[in-house]
Amino acid sequence: MDTLDILFVLPLLIIFSYLFDAFARKTKFPSVILLMLTGILVRFFISFSSYDNFAFLDNLIPVLGTIGLILIVLEGAIELEISREKLPLILKGFLAAFFILIANIVALQWMFQQLFQMQGPSAVLFAIPLAIISSAVAIPSASSLLKQEQEFVVYESTFSDILGIMIFNYALRQFESKQDLVGAEPLISLGLQILGVIVISLLITYILFRLMQQIEHHVKFFLILALLILVYAFGKLFHLPALVTIFIFGIFLSNVHSLLPRFLRNYLDLEATEKEIHEFHILTAESTFIVRTFFFLFFGFSIQISEFTSSTPLVFGLLIFLLMFALRYTYFTVSSLRIKPGPLVYMSPRGLISILLFIQLKEVSFLKLDESPIDERVLLIVILCSMLVMLLGTMKKQKVEENSQIENDEESPAVALDVNPQSLSDEETENT
């Protein structure tokens, strides 16, 4: 592929992604599925040619996924509005994310050990990525819900991302050091690390705010993003929950008036920073769109249709998804005290973070991926099932709303007829 071909292909891919996104907003069909299918189809047609050198994907996909992860967490955190009135909803979203995540991990670990004959560490590490909700897919897909339900999806999916990645890194560190997964000492150490990262995050947030105000160069937001990626890289190097720093920075960025300590606010011109924060949010959203586009395209491109020669991945994927959906349905039934808990039960898509953590498992030395029954094919089935169920849930809600609207329209003439005779009799009485 020469330079001219690349100049044709890259803009067309971005245009198609934009059209997919516009199509998704109207139909609620996840654009991520269209991106992956596009990548799969392109790989299928290229397979007829003699070109088969795709080794670059092994390094490109993890890099795009990591940058996309940072941007998605940052964008999701910026979307979070923290206020006293929203604290009950925030707590509700956090508890749902935490309990459903833990329940999924425990249940999947049991399934992998009992049915798939996997070892304990392998079962846990393969269960965690499958249990995490993708905020990159859930948040845009919640646009048809009520405002309070939309906010709940934002909180739950964002907390699921953060908690899932922290639990994954914690479990991986415990297994690599051959220590117990659950214990007082490692959990206390993790808690102290998180507290330390929060303090460091406040300092980094203050420094980045100062940079926004002091830098007079017209290009400065990409410098902020570069510094955030560097902070994440240093955190990964020292095995710290660096994603918490990104999350806290995003939250303080959008809630600086209410969350940043007063002694730090006194040194910042917050009024002058509001416009820059808005511009930074736009840049983050557009960067996330580009990175997400190429990540899912290349992920779909890395999948070969010829690999699906057996029905085993389909069966495994369906079993995994049905188990997780049953747990989610049970949680919302119990928490809402209703047999039919509503559309939120369908809003649990899997996506970028699940893929990225699966890719990280390839670098774990004590795992034998060739012998594992859980692979990218099973992951793809789980992702597609979760997105299709989410689509059916949103379509069902729209149908219910349309029926209720029709019923209201049919009842309105009857109401008018009841009112008109009364109004006429009143007029006659007045005339008499």
CA-based torsion, 292, 293, 297, 300: positive or negative? positive
How far is residue 303's CA from residue 44's CA, in Å, rounded to a whole number? 9
List pLDDT tens digits, range 194-203. Answer: 788 778 877 8
In a domain, 403, yes or no: no
How far is residue 109's CA from residue 119's CA, in Å, rounded to a whole number? 9
pLDDT surpasses 90 at 323: yes
In a domain, 419, yes or no: no
How far is residue 105's CA from residue 101's CA, in Å, rounded to a whole number? 6
Task: Identify the pLDDT of residue 415.
Answer: 44
Task: Identify the pLDDT of residue 412.
Answer: 52
How many folded domains does the chain comprise? 1
List pLDDT tens digits, range 367-414. Answer: 877 778 888 889 989 999 998 898 888 776 655 555 555 555 555 554
List pLDDT tens digits, range 56-112. Answer: 677 787 888 888 888 887 887 787 777 788 889 989 999 999 999 999 999 999 999
In a domain, 198, yes or no: yes
Average pLDDT rounded to a whole number, residues 50-56: 65
In a domain, 423, yes or no: no
The range of the structural domain enclosing residue 66 comes to 3-50+57-394
Q: What's 234's domain CATH number? A: 1.20.1530.20
Task: Identify the pLDDT of residue 404.
Answer: 55
pLDDT surpasses 80 at 37: yes
Question: Which has the minimum average pLDDT: 16-20, 108-112, 138-142, 237-241?
Answer: 237-241
Q: Is the pTM of this model over 0.85?
A: no
In a domain, 408, yes or no: no
Question: Which has the minimum average pLDDT: 175-189, 222-236, 266-280, 383-397?
Answer: 266-280
In a domain, 232, yes or no: yes
Closest CA to 100 of 325, 415, 396, 399: 325
Task: Identify the pLDDT of residue 246.
Answer: 83
Q: How confident is the model at residue 417 (pLDDT cuts 50, 70, 90)?
A: very low
Task: Identify the pLDDT of residue 104.
Answer: 96
Task: Identify the pLDDT of residue 148.
Answer: 86
Average pLDDT rounded to a whole number, residues 122-145: 86
Q: How confident is the model at residue 175 (pLDDT cuts 50, 70, 90)?
A: confident
Give Cα separations from 145 to 25, 49, 282, 300, 397 (angstroms).
12, 45, 23, 29, 8
In a domain, 89, yes or no: yes
Task: Identify the pLDDT of residue 16.
Answer: 85
Question: Which has the minimum average pLDDT: 2-11, 81-90, 169-178, 419-428?
Answer: 419-428
In a domain, 411, yes or no: no
Task: Identify the pLDDT of residue 302.
Answer: 80
Task: Identify the pLDDT of residue 2.
Answer: 65
